[in-house]
């Protein structure tokens, strides 16, 4: 009798341990993150992610991120329209507050280009305030809407000179530690209009602003690169090396453009980002790192034909050579309505805290996912609409 009870008790304990271990291994356990990495594929809606797998691998469900265990659908509308741009989209991810298109991390009391709204504290600012190291990488202008929403606040995404200068006058902590992106010509011109420039900013803040990743000295732990174009793969791995030394943990945000108005370019960018994500995942500890893949809005692409073994983008070369600028691109197997669209975007996640990504939710939920993964509580909520 005692032996039978011992066997049953041992079996129950073994089952409980197995279930606990399984939950821990697949990201369903309530582990606390030290680090968060967000990969933002700009304009990569569900249909674009599917098309990227077909284009890059010849089969559906072959992207690395499509193997991640946690999936949700994020609704990205601003407060007054159905369709989002990157400014509102990334701002609500970073601040937990929906705002207006064109507005960078300010509340909906902002009037684009006319009136500032309430500055909404970003996830990056929370991280800086708590002593974490931070990095922002972008294939686009480093002062464009998506990267800007991490570190700046502006009533108009077009004010890229003003936005870029905010990287050197942070509201919390010492500001972004690793900042690398494109947009040198445009940002430089806007800085000149404001009576300054890269050299003056660098001198004033004692922080070099490099024109390429190759210029950065190996001893520089807080590099700023504003290039004509950026090798996102190389920049991300460099940023990861620098941030992983942080004793308190880090936040890294990586944007790679996936707009498919040029469908081959957009899909190739997404395939390349997916490969980068796989490499980054191999270099981090998922027991203490949350990885998130998402988009700031969707785009008008649909796959409506084609067969296995045949090129997805049949007819692309002819379209490209014709050089015709149509609103709708009609290839043999793919149609692209060259505009943002309003349907939900996917969120895929793995690692510490990833279990909070599930079901349908507003884009603001990702702000909560990140803070909760760290075990942080947000500041007292602000109601900008009441101001």
Q: Which of 136, 117, 104, 116 is nearest to 39 (CA)?
A: 136
Evaluate if residue 270 carries a pLDDT over 50. Answer: yes
Model pLDDT, residue 31: 83
Evaluate if residue 88 carries a pLDDT over 90. Answer: yes
Say what percent of the chain tops pLDDT 70.
91
Q: CB neighbours (10 Å) of residue 18?
A: 10
pLDDT digits (tens, 9 = 90+) for 163-176: 999 999 999 999 99
Angle between the 263-283 and 232-243 helix axes, to the nearest 10 degrees?
20
Mention every residue, 6+ apart, whose C-beta is less than 8 A from residue 212: 225, 227
Strand 289-294: give its sheet, edge to edge: 209-210, 224-226, 178-182, 133-141, 250-257, 35-42, 289-294, 345-351, 70-75, 359-362
Q: Which of 182, 178, 166, 183 is nearest to 223 (CA)?
A: 178
Distance of CA 244 to the CA centre of its chain: 19
pTM above 0.85, yes or no: yes
Model pLDDT, residue 22: 41
What average pLDDT score do residues 220-230 get? 98
Mention every residue, 6+ apart, whose C-beta is less than 8 A from residue 67: none
pLDDT digits (tens, 9 = 90+) for 51-76: 999 999 999 999 999 999 999 999 99
Say what percent of the chain tops pLDDT 90.
89
Helix or strand holding residue 46 (H, E): helix 46-57
- Cα–Cα distance measured from residue 147 to residue 86, given in angstroms and rounded to the nearest whole number: 10
- Cα–Cα distance measured from residue 346 to residue 67, given in angstroms and rounded to the nearest whole number: 13
Model pLDDT, residue 218: 92
Mean pLDDT over each residue of the chain, to the nearest integer: 93
Secondary-structure breakdown of the chain: helix, strand, coil percentages, each rounded to the nearest 5: 40, 20, 40
Evaluate if residue 374 carries a pLDDT over 70. Answer: yes
Q: Which residue is listed with tokens 């070369």? A: 317
Angle between the 365-374 and 86-95 helix axes, to the nearest 10 degrees?
30
| All domains in the chain, ordered by first residue | 31-378 (3.40.720.10)
Q: Report yes or no: 150 and 140 within 8 Å, Cβ to Cβ.
A: no
Model pLDDT, residue 360: 98
- Cα–Cα distance measured from residue 84 to residue 99, given in angstroms and rounded to the nearest whole number: 10
- Cα–Cα distance measured from residue 256 to residue 243, given in angstroms and rounded to the nearest whole number: 19
pLDDT digits (tens, 9 = 90+) for 1-60: 444 544 444 444 444 444 444 444 444 457 899 999 999 999 999 999 999 999 999 999
Which stretches of 150-297 are assigned E, i.e. beta strand? 178-182, 209-210, 224-226, 250-257, 289-294
pLDDT band of residue 382 (cuts 50, 70, 90) is low
């Amino acid at each position: 009798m005692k032996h039978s009870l011992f066997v049953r008790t041992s079996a129950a304990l073994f089952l409980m341990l197995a279930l606990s271990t399984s939950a821990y291994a697949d990201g369903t356990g309530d582990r606390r993150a030290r680090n968060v990495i967000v990969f933002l594929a700009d304009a990569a809606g569900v249909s674009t992610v599917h098309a990227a797998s077909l284009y890059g691998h010849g089969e559906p469900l072959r992207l690395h991120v499509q193997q991640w265990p946690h999936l949700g659908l994020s609704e990205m509308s601003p407060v007054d329209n159905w369709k989002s741009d990157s400014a509102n989209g990334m701002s609500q991810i970073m601040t937990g507050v929906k705002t207006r298109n064109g507005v960078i991390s300010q509340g909906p009391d902002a009037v684009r280009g006319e009136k500032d709204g309430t500055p909404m504290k970003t996830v990056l600012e929370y991280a800086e305030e708590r002593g974490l190291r931070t990095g922002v990488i972008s294939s686009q202008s480093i002062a464009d809407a998506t990267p800007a929403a991490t570190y700046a606040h502006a009533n108009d995404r077009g004010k890229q000179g003003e936005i870029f200068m905010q990287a050197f006058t942070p509201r919390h902590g010492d500001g972004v530690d690793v900042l690398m992106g494109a947009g040198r010509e445009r940002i430089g011109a806007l800085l000149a209009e404001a009576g300054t420039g890269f050299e003056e900013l660098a001198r004033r803040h004692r922080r070099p602003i490099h024109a390429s990743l190759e210029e950065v000295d190996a001893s520089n732990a807080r590099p700023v690169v504003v290039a004509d174009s950026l090798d996102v793969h190389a920049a991300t791995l460099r940023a990861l090396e620098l941030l992983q030394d942080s004793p308190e943990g880090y936040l890294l945000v990586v944007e790679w453009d996936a707009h498919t108005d040029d469908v081959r370019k957009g899909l190739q960018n997404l395939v390349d980002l997916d490969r980068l994500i796989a490499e980054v995942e191999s270099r981090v500890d998922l027991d203490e790192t949350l990885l998130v893949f998402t988009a700031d809005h969707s785009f008008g692409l649909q796959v409506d034909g084609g067969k296995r073994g045949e090129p997805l983008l049949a007819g692309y070369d002819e379209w490209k050579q014709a050089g015709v600028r149509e609103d709708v691109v009609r290839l043999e197997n793919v149609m692209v309505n060259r505009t943002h669209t309003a349907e939900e975007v996917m969120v895929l996640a793995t690692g510490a805290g990833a279990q909070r990504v599930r079901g349908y939710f507003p884009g603001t939920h990702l702000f909560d996912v990140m803070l909760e993964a760290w075990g942080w509580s947000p500041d007292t909520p602000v109601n900008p609409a009441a101001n």
